[in-house]
Chains A and B, each alone.
Chain A
């Protein structure tokens, strides 16, 4: 693998995980919903899109949109119990939800091909590019998606809707006392997050061209968590930077075994240990992450108001 190809691969993965981290950050950093099953959205987006295209024969665009919609629906479904489940119990429920999705993918062979996975997933606009040029195109495609999602999420979080979400995160009872239907708001937030992560899943499936339940183990969720812990919560840029740091580390350490006398198995395990340490260090030393939540400043002119 040439350096350039590797770089393109790395950036593509950063883009995909950037979407997943932005989605998780939207739930955790903005709405205060602790989701330990984020990988479920990723899996649903990937499977829905590839199955729609491979099995149903739908056009790619239908696959992508279908993946986003179904993932958004799952977001709605999993947030319905949030009213009765306190947040920590809900976190456990989401962890289970993520595993349920993976186990369905593993066992419902008629639908998902089970452990064999879905193969030969077509790629968008493949025929217009040479084999060498295609990865660069796909990277550009992903960059555009990341930018669009970034803009849309920023619009949302800067709107009264986003303000309500932040208020739910900080003081849910206050929101209720001000007449906010916090239940609906949380469901809406989960649908938005689900659609973003579903897009990430679809982009992943059509990039890798082969997916199996192995791609969607709970560890993926924790990588996404590591991203928002390192990058910082409550702001979209932080999620992208977190994805960059963690993916850079995660992908590039694959080659360590070429230069150092460790087995790949040892390195895979060591990688997780190091990411774990990184999380602990960040939580202790820089709990806000690399990029802090930005305060929204309004300019209100300079009439002198009394300050005590």
Chain B
């Protein structure tokens, strides 16, 4: 579904990504691990169009997406979350969910003024879906709270909620469980797994917790200093000497 070929990204003299190649199959959960500063988030930023690559190519659903703007890539069905969850401060949790919905006629100002019946019908349908999703994420009680007042963990949940609301073909999750309490994190991971089973979504997940990765992912890529250090099933990765040295060694 997604294939990244020989992608390079430099910041001045720093080679943040030095020819990274990886593929994510559809209907799979793929893990991306690596020490801090190994280029995981940079890779996310390049794939999602927030950074311009300095070389290589990125193909999604058979079409090149490198060079597109982030919003165009998102509209192609490839969405990402951020490591530090973003939440528009003065929008409520529900508004955040509604914001994410795809195909809203009312996003056009002319339709918003002259086609109010249709717009409000779509809005109502989205509202129902948003409330259902918030219930799953245990955020329902905070529906009318400003997103800016949520805790870090709750913002993480909300970003997953927005993704579910948007319902893209592939989701890049940047540390989805960081700052979420263990029970809820577990639920969250189950939700992701369930989604993948049911809706056949593809996920690429940055995650530091090896247990989580082993549980969730069918394939894992390991980055180190901007280069691919290893790839394989979680079991293979956990036995890989180089990986143990670079990343898992201390644990």
Minimal Cβ-Cβ distance residue in A for B151:
A308
Minimal Cβ-Cβ distance residue in A for B70:
A176
The CB with the most chain A CB atoms within 10 A, among B82, B87, B99, B148, is that of B99
Kindly identify, within residues 165 to 184 of chain B, every residue whose CB is under 8 Å from any CB belonging to chain A: 166, 181, 184
Whether A176 and B50, one on each chain, are in contact in the complex, defined by CB atoms closer than 8 angstroms, is: yes
Give the residues in chain A near B166, CB-CB below 8 Å.
178-179
Whether A306 and B140, one on each chain, are in contact in the complex, defined by CB atoms closer than 8 angstroms, is: yes
How far apart are A114's CB and chain B's nearest CB, in angstroms? 37
Give the residues in chain B near A164, CB-CB below 8 Å.
99, 107
Alpha-carbon distance A296/B98, docked complex (angstroms): 12
How far apart are A76's CB and chain B's nearest CB, in angstroms? 13
How far apart are B24's CB and chain A's nearest CB, in angstroms? 18
Interface string of A144-165 (1 = CB under 8 A from B): 0000000010011001111110
Question: Is B228 part of the binding interface, using a Cβ–Cβ cutoff of 8 Å?
Answer: no
Give the residues in chain B near A161, CB-CB below 8 Å.
106-109, 112
Number of A interface residues, CB 8 Å? 39
Given A161-B108, A177-B48, A295-B146, residue A300 in contact with residue B88 (CB < 8 A): no
Chain B interface: which of A180-188, A203-211, A255-263?
A180-188
Return the contact of A170 from the options B69, B88, B113 (Cβ within 8 A). B88
Alpha-carbon distance A176/B82, docked complex (angstroms): 12
Interface string of A291-307 (1 = CB under 8 A from B): 00101111010010111
How far apart are B12's CB and chain A's nearest CB, in angstroms? 20
Alpha-carbon distance A277/B233, docked complex (angstroms): 66
Alpha-carbon distance A151/B98, docked complex (angstroms): 23
Whether A162 and B70, one on each chain, are in contact in the complex, defined by CB atoms closer than 8 angstroms, is: no
Question: Is B2 part of the binding interface, using a Cβ–Cβ cutoff of 8 Å?
Answer: no
Question: Is A106 part of the binding interface, using a Cβ–Cβ cutoff of 8 Å?
Answer: no
How far apart are A180's CB and chain B's nearest CB, in angstroms? 6
Whether B144 and A295, one on each chain, are in contact in the complex, defined by CB atoms closer than 8 angstroms, is: yes
Question: Is B241 part of the binding interface, using a Cβ–Cβ cutoff of 8 Å?
Answer: no
Whether A166 and B108, one on each chain, are in contact in the complex, defined by CB atoms closer than 8 angstroms, is: no
Whether B94 and A163, one on each chain, are in contact in the complex, defined by CB atoms closer than 8 angstroms, is: no
A-B contact count (CB 8 A): 139
Return the contact of B119 from the options A159, A178, A180, A303 (Cβ within 8 A). A159
Alpha-carbon distance A291/B91, docked complex (angstroms): 17
Whether B71 and A176, one on each chain, are in contact in the complex, defined by CB atoms closer than 8 angstroms, is: yes
Question: Is A167 part of the binding interface, using a Cβ–Cβ cutoff of 8 Å?
Answer: yes
The CB with the most chain B CB atoms within 10 A, among A156, A159, A181, is that of A159
Interface string of B76-118 (1 = CB under 8 A from A): 0001111000111111101100111010111111001100100
Whether A176 and B86, one on each chain, are in contact in the complex, defined by CB atoms closer than 8 angstroms, is: no
Minimal Cβ-Cβ distance residue in A for B114:
A155
Question: Is A132 part of the binding interface, using a Cβ–Cβ cutoff of 8 Å?
Answer: no
How far apart are A301's CB and chain B's nearest CB, in angstroms? 8
Kindly identify, within residues 121 to 177 of chain A, every residue whose CB is under 8 Å from any CB belonging to chain B: 152, 155-156, 159-164, 166-167, 169-171, 173-177
Chain A interface: which of B33-41, B130-138, B189-197?
B130-138
Whether A177 and B92, one on each chain, are in contact in the complex, defined by CB atoms closer than 8 angstroms, is: no
Whether B138 and A306, one on each chain, are in contact in the complex, defined by CB atoms closer than 8 angstroms, is: yes
Alpha-carbon distance A234/B146, docked complex (angstroms): 14
How far apart are A230's CB and chain B's nearest CB, in angstroms? 19
The CB with the most chain A CB atoms within 10 A, among B106, B119, B166, B181, is that of B106
Whether A170 and B74, one on each chain, are in contact in the complex, defined by CB atoms closer than 8 angstroms, is: no
How far apart are B11's CB and chain A's nearest CB, in angstroms? 18
- Can you sample 22 A-B contacts with CB below 8 Å? A155-B113, A156-B109, A159-B116, A160-B98, A160-B106, A160-B123, A163-B91, A166-B91, A170-B88, A170-B90, A176-B74, A177-B79, A179-B74, A179-B102, A182-B71, A296-B92, A298-B127, A298-B143, A300-B127, A305-B135, A306-B140, A307-B140
Closest 10 CB pairs of A and B: A305-B140, A307-B141, A170-B88, A179-B74, A159-B112, A160-B106, A176-B70, A174-B86, A179-B75, A160-B104
Name 15 extra pairs, CB < 8 A, besides A163-B95, A169-B90, A174-B88: A159-B116, A160-B98, A160-B104, A160-B106, A161-B109, A171-B88, A177-B79, A178-B162, A179-B79, A296-B95, A298-B127, A298-B143, A300-B127, A306-B138, A307-B141
